[in-house]
Amino acid sequence: MKKFYGDDVFLGGETAVKIYEQIKDLPIFDYHCHLSPKEIYEDVRFENIGEMWLGADHYKWRLMRSVGIDEEYITGGKSYEEKFQKYAEAIEGAVGSPLYHWTHMELKQFFGVNEPLTAEIAPEIWKKANALIKEKKLSSRKLIEMSNVAYIATTDDITDSLEYHKKISEDKSFKTKVCPSFRTDNLFLYREKTYLDYIKKLSDVSGVEVKDLESLKAALEKRVDFFASLGCKMTDVGIERFPLCIGSDGEADEVFKRVLAREDVSVDEFDKFISNVYIFLAALYKKHSMIMQLHLAVKRNASSKLLASVGKDAGGDCVGEAFSVGALTALLDKMDSENALPDTIVYTLNPTMYYQIATGIRSFRNVVLGAAWWFCDHLSGIKEQLQLYSETASLSTFYGMLTDSRSFLSYARHDYFRRILASFIAEKVDGGEYGPFENAVKAAKKISGENIKTKLGL
C-alpha cells in the first residue's frame, strides 16, 4: 500500500517517476482561468483557509450540496470556520472524487499537511493552515509565485475596462504575465432581461452606436483591437447553444434588429446571428493571432431556484446535450474557406462527443481538441482525453492543462495533470510501444507548457 499522497501518488512506476521528474518543476502557462485581475493587482491577502477554499469555488459548493449540507454553510452567512468544518465533513467520504485529490494535493503543496482531512481533524488543520497563512503572508500574488506561474489568461467580458490588466502590466515587481481573454457569452444571451442594457454598454465603451449588424461589427472590431493592445491572445465563448445553420449578413441583420426592437425571435432564427458573428470574429482573431476557444455541450443554470437565490456560477451548471458535429464542421469549413479560421481549441463537456469532435476538427489545420474540461478533469476523464487525443492526432501537439478555476490554490491541478500525463506516457514506453525514453520526455515537456508557450508567442 502506498503512503497517503506520497511523492509517487498517481505515478504508475519507475518510468513514470522519471518522466515526472523532468516536468514537475516546469513553469505553468494558465491559458484559461477565472481568477480576478482585480484581486491579482491588489495582491489580496487571505485571512484563513476557509476564505481561500470556499469563497468562490463552486466545485466545492456542489460537493457540499450533494451530501445535504445547508446552503448557509456553503454560500450563506455562516463563518468560514464553520464552512470549513462542513466541507471537511463532506470531503472525508468522497472516495475517488477529483475534489478529494485536489484538496489533499493543495494541503500538501501549500500548507505542508499530508494527512486525510476529516471532520475530526479539521479543527487542527484549520489552526495549522491559518497560522501558516499569517506567517507567510499568503496572498494572491504569493500563491501564484509559489506555483511557478509564468502566464495567466483571465476571462473577461468584451465590455470590460481592463483597468486592472493595465495596472498589472505597469507593475514591474510582479513577474507573471497577466493578459485578458475576449469572452463573448453575453453578446449571445439575447433572452436575458438586461440584454438591451448590455448592448447599450457595448455602444458606450466602443464609441459606436449599435443599432444593426454593421454597427455591431464595427463595435466588436474596436473591442478586439482594444483587448489586443493589452496583450490578449485568447478568446472564448461558452454558451449553451451551438448554431445549427449559417446566416447571411442580411439574415443576421434582420434577426438582430428584431431583438433590438424587443420582438420575439426563436432560437433557430437566432442561430443565423450567432453563426454570422462567430465567422466575423474568427477573422478578427486570425488577424490579431488570437486563439479561438469554443467551450461546447454545457447546460447553464439547471436549477432555477439556485439561480434566483445564489446567482450564476454557483454550481448550478451541468453537462449539456450532444449537438450536431456536422454543424461544427460546417462552421469551421466556412471560416476556413474565407481564410478566416484562427488557431482554435474545441472543448466538450459531454465526453460522448469526443470521437466525433476529435475526428471532425482534424479536417482543419491548427484546430485541436481541448483539455478535459470541468466535469471531465478528473483522473479517469484526463486519461480518457489523453487516450482519445493520442488515437486521433499527435499527442505531442496537445496544449496541456489549464485551471479553469476561481481559486488561487488550483495550481495544484497542474501537478495532478503532469503526474497523470507521466503515467500515461510511461505505460506506452514500458509496454514497448513507444520510445526512446528521451522522446517520451520531450513529448511530456511539450504538453506541459512548451506548446502553449510557443503558440502564445512568449
* pLDDT category of residue 346 using cuts at 50, 70 and 90: very high
Q: Which helix (H) or strand (E) holds 30?
A: strand 28-30
Q: Which CATH number covers residue 99?
A: 1.10.2020.10
Q: What is the pLDDT of residues 88-99, one digit of tens each?
A: 999 999 999 999
Q: Which long-range CB contacts under 8 A does 73-82 form with residues at least 24 apart?
A: 75/310, 75/314, 79/50, 80/47, 80/48, 80/50, 80/51, 80/54, 80/55, 81/48, 81/50, 81/126
Phi, psi of 92 (to 5 degrees): -65, -25
For residue 111, is it within any domain? yes
Residue written as grid cell 486563439: 291
Q: What is the pLDDT of residues 27-75, one digit of tens each?
A: 999 999 999 999 999 999 999 999 999 998 999 999 999 999 999 999 9
The pLDDT assigned to 374 comes to 95
Q: What is the pLDDT of residues 397-434, one digit of tens each?
A: 999 999 999 999 999 999 999 999 999 999 999 999 99
For residue 124, is it within any domain? yes
The pLDDT assigned to 262 comes to 96
Burial 28-38 (b: 16+ CB within 10 A, else e): bbbbbbbbbbe
The pLDDT assigned to 1 comes to 81
Question: What mean pLDDT do residues 13-31 have?
Answer: 98
Q: What is the pLDDT of residues 118-156, one digit of tens each?
A: 999 999 999 999 999 999 999 999 999 999 999 999 999
For residue 81, is it within any domain? yes
Q: How far apart are CA 436 and CA 456, in angstroms?
A: 29
Q: What is the pLDDT of residues 254-311, one digit of tens each?
A: 999 999 999 999 999 999 999 999 999 999 999 999 999 999 999 999 999 999 999 9
The helix/strand/coil state of 286 is helix
Burial category of 312 from C-beta neighbours within 10 Å (exposed 0-12, middle 13-18, buried 19 and up)? exposed
The residue segments making up the domain with residue 98 are: 48-138
For residue 88, is it within any domain? yes
The pLDDT assigned to 167 comes to 98
* pLDDT category of residue 372 using cuts at 50, 70 and 90: very high
For residue 267, is it within any domain? no
Q: What is the pLDDT of residues 206-247, one digit of tens each?
A: 999 999 999 999 999 999 999 999 999 999 999 999 999 999
Burial 211-221 (b: 16+ CB within 10 A, else e): eebeebbebbb
Percentage of the residues of the chain whose pLDDT score is greater than 70:
100
For residue 99, is it within any domain? yes
Q: How many domains does the chain have?
A: 1
The pLDDT assigned to 2 comes to 86
For residue 193, is it within any domain? no
For residue 260, is it within any domain? no
The C-alpha cell at 121 is 481533524
The helix/strand/coil state of 143 is helix
Q: Give the mean pLDDT of the chain.
A: 97
Q: What is the pLDDT of residues 307-326, one digit of tens each?
A: 999 999 999 999 999 999 99
**What pTM does this model have?**
0.96
